[in-house]
Amino acid sequence: MSEFDYDVLVLGAGPGGYTAAFRAADLGQKVALVERYPDLGGVCLNVGCIPSKALLHTASIIDEAAAMEQHGVSFGEPFIDIDKLRIFKEGVVGKLTGGLAGMAKQRKVEVIQGVGSFAGPNEVTVETEGGTRSLSFSNAIIAVGSQSMELGGMPWGDPRLMDSTDALELEEVPLRLLVVGGGIIGLEMACVYQALGSSVTVVELTPGLMPGSDPDLVKPLQRRITKKYEAIHLETRVKQIDVDDKGLVAHFEGKHSGKEMFDRVLVAVGRTPNGSKINAESAGVEVGDRGFISVDAQMRTNVPHIFAIGDVVGQPMLAHKATHEGKVAAEVCAGHKSAFDARAIPSVAYTDPEIAWVGVTEAEAKKAGLEYGVGKFPMAASGRAIGNDRTEGFTKLLFDASSNRIIGAGITCPNAGDLISECALAIEMGAEAGDIGMTIHPHPTLSESVAMAAEVFEGTVTDLYIPKKK
Ligand code: NAD
């Protein structure tokens, strides 16, 4: 018999936390999963990836139906029943969180609802509805995630000022929406609200949208949304928002200045880790100034029997990174010699078109002085993209110049997020351009563009004419 209540206590039930808990239980550990909210799944399932994708699907159908007019098929103006759409979205979330609760039960993972914090190196206290519970553990996995960053000087508390969670509530479709932050969340939500009927303005601090991805990947999206949105202001910040009976008045500063009234404002300027909120210090766990917790490749913090995974250990703050880290931590708790050694973690913006990238970006390759070559295949030369009337994007592969091995990839087109997995696998497997080009891809698909980009790099492509260099 162990001297502790649990072999593994997992704090936080987002994609990282529930994966860690389930994997640990599957490996024979006695597991507690502590979560503050009644539903499992964390931000991703409840107020992030999943509901936003449900709404983005709706948005893309609205846009596609409208685009059909060019092809001789008219559906007329859509009638949007916002309440029904919200109920659908809630149903999607409910199905998934319900599934998680069922799987936790099947695995005999004890789910404890309440706010947990450390009380010592082997003890967590949980503030539950029924009072405070003290739980002891042999190993703990911190999976407490992150939260939206709040901009100072804003009238938080006014329901018209929203973070991403509020925006996903879909309370109403504002006539004029201001999106502060041209990153992934801002641009995904802009896409949803514009399709539902809002007139959208985006304000971004830096010179380009979606900083971190290659600017050429973003260009086709920027061109498309510049036509659809009211305005996109780069190198501009919102310094203040005033409350008015009729709306929120935003004061701009930078390349674009002045003030304007909006019906609602969404602030999506990044996320901040929750590491400082769990009294980790009482367990001896070091937490950085900004709330991040450092870990090694086995996901151990400076306290060897306490692990941390997901957003709280650093960028990229992505669910699929967290789940992989969660599995590693659970396996190490169960005595396995696992380690996190992914060569690449894909990123996807589920905008329209989608933008996906993995491995080294071209900007990073240049900055690091890498010797690399590029193979780029435009969707304008893809039969499938032409048939879809969506020729604006491309697939770009980066290869190490001496080994011809793929080191990075970027794709812009509808469903780029699905296409990027092949490139992630190619990087993991150390594939060379020839391996990718000679893999027979089904025709006609957008996935062919991956093989053809490799052929462009190799100089063997026949679907494009590239004059030989003299
Ligand atoms: P982000 O960091 O991707 O983008 C925030 C943007 O806001 C940046 O472009 C930044 O320059 C800009 N900004 C910052 N301060 C500003 C200001 N005062 N005025 C105007 N612009 C300002 O952050 P996010 O979009 O909030 O997303 C947060 C995290 O969630 C990211 O780590 C992202 O990876 C993750 N996420 C991923 C997905 C996905 O995988 N599809 C979806 C949503 C969120």
Residue 470: pLDDT band with limits 50, 70, 90: confident
Phi, psi values for residue 415, rounded to 5°:
70, 20
351 Cα: distance to centroid of ligand 1 (angstroms): 13
Given a cut of 80, whether residue 469 has pLDDT beyond it is no
Given a cut of 70, whether residue 187 has pLDDT beyond it is yes
From the list 284, 330, 281, 333, the residue with the least C-alpha distance to 305 is 333
In this structure, the residue with its CA closest to atom 38 of ligand 1 is 184
Task: Determine the atom of ligand 1 nearest the C-alpha atom of 268.
Answer: 26
- Write the DSSP string, 156-169: TT-TTEE-HHHHHH
359 Cα: distance to centroid of ligand 1 (angstroms): 19
For the chain, what is the mean pLDDT? 97
**Averaged over 295-299, what is the pLDDT?**
98
pLDDT single digits (tens) 378-393: 999 999 999 999 999 9
Sorted by where each begins, the domain ranges of the chain are 6-148+272-333, 161-269, 347-458
What percent of the chain lies above the pLDDT cut of 70? Answer: 100
Could you tell me the two tokens for 225? 């949304």
Record the pTM.
0.96
Given a cut of 70, whether residue 298 has pLDDT beyond it is yes
From the list 427, 317, 426, the residue with the least C-alpha distance to 49 is 317
From the list 268, 283, 299, 316, the residue with the least C-alpha distance to 168 is 268
**What is the CATH number assigned to the segment(s) 347-458?**
3.30.390.30
CATH homologous superfamily of 161-269? FAD/NAD(P)-binding domain (3.50.50.60)
- Write the DSSP string, 123-149: EEEEEETTEEEEEEEEEEEE---EEEP
**What's 6-148+272-333's CATH class?**
alpha beta
Task: Determine the atom of ligand 1 nearest the C-alpha atom of 349.
Answer: 41
pLDDT single digits (tens) 36-81: 999 999 999 999 999 999 999 999 999 999 999 999 999 999 999 9
Ligand 1 pocket check for 234: Cβ under 6 Å: no
What percent of the chain lies above the pLDDT cut of 90? Answer: 98
Query: In this structure, what DSSP letter does residue 343 have?
Result: S
Task: Give me the pLDDT at residue 468, please.
Answer: 82
**Averaged over 394-418, what is the pLDDT?**
98
Task: Give me the pLDDT at residue 221, please.
Answer: 98
443 is catalytic: yes
Instruction: Give 468 or 402, the one with higher predicted confidence.
Output: 402
How far is CA 458 from its chain centroid? 33
Ligand 1 pocket check for 205: Cβ under 6 Å: yes
pLDDT single digits (tens) 84-143: 999 999 999 999 999 999 999 999 999 999 999 999 999 999 999 999 999 999 999 999
146 Cα: distance to centroid of ligand 1 (angstroms): 13
Task: Determine the atom of ligand 1 nearest the C-alpha atom of 417.
Answer: 41
Query: Ligand 1, from 164, 252, 269, 272: best to mutate by most atoms within 8 Å of Cβ?
Result: 269
Ligand 1 pocket check for 211: Cβ under 6 Å: yes
- Topology alike, domains 6-148+272-333 and 161-269: yes
From the list 326, 337, 227, the residue with the least C-alpha distance to 10 is 326
Ligand 1 pocket check for 317: Cβ under 6 Å: yes
In this structure, the residue with its CA closest to atom 40 of ligand 1 is 348
Number of H helices, E strands in the chain: 13, 22
pLDDT single digits (tens) 355-366: 999 999 999 999
Task: Give me the pLDDT at residue 2, please.
Answer: 83
CA atoms of 296 and 280, how far apart (whole Å): 17
Beta-carbon contacts of 20 under 8 Å, excluding residues fewer than 6 positions away, are: 8, 10, 141, 143, 309, 326, 327, 329, 330
Task: Give me the pLDDT at residue 1, please.
Answer: 67
pLDDT single digits (tens) 222-248: 999 999 999 999 999 999 999 999 999
